Amino acid sequence: MEKLEVLRKVFGYDTFREGQEQIVDAILHGQDVLGIMPTGAGKSICYQLPALMLEGITIVVSPLISLMIDQVKALNEAGIHAAYINSALTETQITKALYNAMCGRYKIVYVAPERLETDRFLEFVMNVDIAMITVDEAHCISQWGQDFRPSYLKIVNLIKRFPKRPIVSAFTATATQTVKDDILCILGLNNPKVLVTGFDRQNLYFEVRKTKHKDEEILEYLAKHEGESGIIYCATRKNVDNVYLMLKKNGIAATRYHAGLDNEMRKNNQEDFIYDRALVIVATNAFGMGIDKSNVRFVLHYNMPQCIENYYQEAGRAGRDGEPAECILFYSAQDVMINEFLIGNKGQNTEFTQEELEVIKENDIRRLNKMRFYCATKECLREYMLNYFGEYTYRHDCGNCGNCTGEFEEKNVTDICVDIIECIRESGQRYGMNVIIGILRGSNTAKLKSYGVSRYKSFGKRSKMSEAMLKSVMEELLLKEYLTETADIYRIIKLDKTSQDIIDGSTELVCKWSEKKEEVRETQAKVKKSGAAAELTPKQFAVFGELKKLRLTIAREENMPPYIIFSDKTLVDMCIKLPFTKTEMLAVNGVGENKYERYGERFIQCIVDCTDAVR
Ligand code: ADP
Ligand code: ZN
């Protein structure tokens, strides 16, 4: 079969998405690849499809068990024989799986990195024809990444052992330049095709809400989005438990997930969410890797995450089906402290040396600061994140984030900036933001008194200005790099070379100011409300409801998550095309031969029934 035929027949898609075809072609020509694509862009097809066409077996190294199980389930569902080797299996099961693989029964074998150097696995790979080694979540190999896993280094040894080197393909959703260089270098990719596809997820709406009343805001949000599936991320287990109980008390069918719950419970809760028995899940960042539930309509953050990498990955779990979805971060200043605390306690009993820990911590703080600025910026949120990942759009207005759609007043704040800079200079560049603000406002706290700051000329110079306003201007100065901060928890504010430009009057600073208008937000939320189904006419929407019921019935019969049977997007396409025949059904986005064989007729029957045979 030729590649497009495989795409159509096996996976049920008519066309490749951006980047997929180039990667597939490179692999089929025997070239190594590094694919950097955002979550939901469709990385799996990039290696699964060539794996089917190459002679020999493809080994996929993947960090998380849940991820593997899900992928293997989906592959088997599409009629592709695949297996996984990880600690979820007993030794006997592993023996059996490897035996089957040795007999050529699987085209794709997923394996956990810890397993790579076991004798049994080595014996297996040396005795069969390995066409390709695929490294999923490849950023785990880099110490500079946000998720370093030493066991990933075992991959390098494995690759070296082969008499005939297989193709090596690596994939990740988050990679800054340093991490990218690390992946290329450590894995030793050989003249690779490197493809970075747009990180932009246009269907996602981003917003930051600064609030002290998170619970109320979350409840209000959920009330407006009833019937939709979503994730609420919290920074700590305790927060998860509190938010979860708060939702329960308010009659919301929520579940929760964090590392403090026992395995059984975690598994059940996760399944409740995936199978749509609980629409909302409250979770720490332990949740989500490998969950490719496609109909997640919102991802809310109850706390600010530790870095943009994490945020973009977690938020990216919304709208995998390509339909509109919302990512809203509820921010309060306390979130910064929680994260500093978490960073401070990180890796206390790991294999790192003290020195290494210091470096890691410094990097963590630097990343945290970038995250803070995301919450502070008044410019386009999407652009901010894309810039962070090295992608420059120069568009400045995406039309689909809180800052681009919100209403702001522009205000020239140069004179305030001058006072701030003078204050920092005068007090010797040795204080953090709160002290500087305290001096400018002439606060009479015991702490400030003990510093003896009332002798400065700046003391009380902005006594009428609100703390929030001063903070906002200072954040703007930091963002635009007229000021810098030390990369430790004290975050002492220092002047930069460019600070003088403001004092000299050669640069003016304009700040966006004022609150967003409430009604604007509301109407937007309404338009976006039902995701994939939003464009359906009322009649089509009724069919959609029936198809969803059928999908749920089948899901229960087969003990499969509904979205693995068919995604919302596929059901919506059915409602639009109303297929009555096999050919028509195969023309629906997401219906391949195998899925047709298994479910096609039941769905056609359902469509016939509920449309009374009129089209
Ligand atoms: P990633 O691993 O990059 O996060 P996945 O490989 O899980 O993303 O794919 C995300 C979703 O996109 C899945 O539901 C998948 O079936 C779908 N998808 C992938 N490729 C295509 C394509 N060419 N056409 C339509 N849908 C696709
Ligand atoms: Zn924007």
Whether residue 593 is contained in a domain is answered as: yes
Q: Best mutation site among 3, 5, 14, 45 for ligand 1, i.e. most ligand atoms within 8 A of its Cβ?
A: 45
81 lines ligand 1 (CB under 6 A): no
**Torsions phi, psi for 493 (to 5 deg):** -90, 130
Same structural domain, 92 and 21: yes
Does residue 138 or residue 556 have the better pLDDT? 138
Report DSSP letters for 271-314, one per residue. HHHHTTSSSEEEE-TTS-TT---TTEEEEEESS--S-HHHHHHH
229 SS3 class: strand
Same structural domain, 88 and 213: no
Sequence-separated (6 or more) residues with CB below 8 Å from residue 587: 577, 579
Provide mean pLDDT across the span 139-163: 87
Same structural domain, 247 and 165: no
Does residue 300 or residue 503 have the better pLDDT? 300
Q: Best mutation site among 67, 204, 292 for ligand 1, i.e. most ligand atoms within 8 A of its Cβ?
A: 292
Looking up residue 549, the CATH number of its domain turns out to be 1.10.150.80
Confidence of residue 559 (pLDDT cuts 50, 70, 90): confident
Which of 133, 161, 196 is the last residue in one of the domains?
196
Residue 485, class by beta-carbon neighbours within 10 Å (0-12 exposed, 13-18 middle, 19+ buried)?
Answer: middle
Which of 196, 225, 250 is the last residue in one of the domains?
196
17 lines ligand 1 (CB under 6 A): yes
pLDDT of 506 reads 86
Does residue 14 or residue 538 have the better pLDDT? 14
User: Which of 48-62, 431-445, 544-558, 584-598 is predicted least confidently?
Assistant: 544-558
Same structural domain, 323 and 261: yes
Which residues have their alpha-adjacent CB atom under 5 A from ion ligand 2?
A: 380, 382, 398, 401, 404
Same structural domain, 354 and 242: yes
63 lines ligand 1 (CB under 6 A): no
State yes or no: pLDDT of 21 exceeds 90: yes
* CA–CA separation, 199 and 424 (whole Å): 38
Whether residue 252 is contained in a domain is answered as: yes
Confidence of residue 348 (pLDDT cuts 50, 70, 90): low
Provide mean pLDDT across the span 382-391: 87
Sequence-separated (6 or more) residues with CB below 8 Å from residue 15: 7
Instruction: Give pLDDT tens digits for 173-213.
Output: 877 788 899 999 999 999 999 998 878 888 999 999 998 89
What's the number of domains the chain is made of?
A: 4
Looking up residue 358, the CATH number of its domain turns out to be 3.40.50.300
39 lines ligand 1 (CB under 6 A): yes
Same structural domain, 186 and 62: yes
Whether residue 32 is contained in a domain is answered as: yes
Whether residue 523 is contained in a domain is answered as: no
Kindly give the distance from the C-alpha atom of residue 283 to the centroid of ligand 1, in angstroms, as a whole number: 24
* CA–CA separation, 342 and 35 (whole Å): 31
Query: Tokens 């890691």 sit at which residue?
Result: 360
State yes or no: pLDDT of 240 exceeds 90: yes
Does residue 475 or residue 30 have the better pLDDT? 30
Same structural domain, 165 and 288: no
585 SS3 class: helix
Confidence of residue 518 (pLDDT cuts 50, 70, 90): very low
Report DSSP letters for 438-464, one per residue. HHHHT---HHHHHHTGGGSTTTTTTTT
Provide mean pLDDT across the span 41-62: 95
- 147 forms beta bridges with none
- For 512-563, the three-class secondary structure string (H helix, E strand, C coil) is EECCCCHHHHHHHHHHHCCHHHHHCCHHHHHHHHHHHHHHHHHHHHHCCCHH
Kindly give the distance from the C-alpha atom of residue 395 to the centroid of ligand 2, in angstroms, as a whole number: 9
184 near 192, Cβ under 8 Å?
A: yes
Look up the domain containing 572 and give its range: 532-614
**Tally of CA atoms within 13 A in the half-sphere of 287 that contains its CB:** 35
Burial 345-375 (b: 16+ CB within 10 A, else e): eeeeeeebeeeeeeebbebbbebbbbbbbbb
Sequence-separated (6 or more) residues with CB below 8 Å from residue 485: 369, 478, 491, 492, 493, 494
Kindly give the distance from the C-alpha atom of residue 572 to the centroid of ligand 2, in angstroms, as a whole number: 28
Whether residue 526 is contained in a domain is answered as: no
Instruction: Give pLDDT tens digits for 266-285.
Output: 999 999 999 999 999 999 99
192 lines ligand 1 (CB under 6 A): no
Provide mean pLDDT across the span 230-236: 96
Whether residue 521 is contained in a domain is answered as: no
Whether residue 88 is contained in a domain is answered as: yes
Provide mean pLDDT across the span 385-393: 81
Confidence of residue 560 (pLDDT cuts 50, 70, 90): confident
41 lines ligand 1 (CB under 6 A): yes
State yes or no: pLDDT of 435 exceeds 70: yes
Kindly give the distance from the C-alpha atom of residue 482 to the centroid of ligand 1, in angstroms, as a whole number: 42
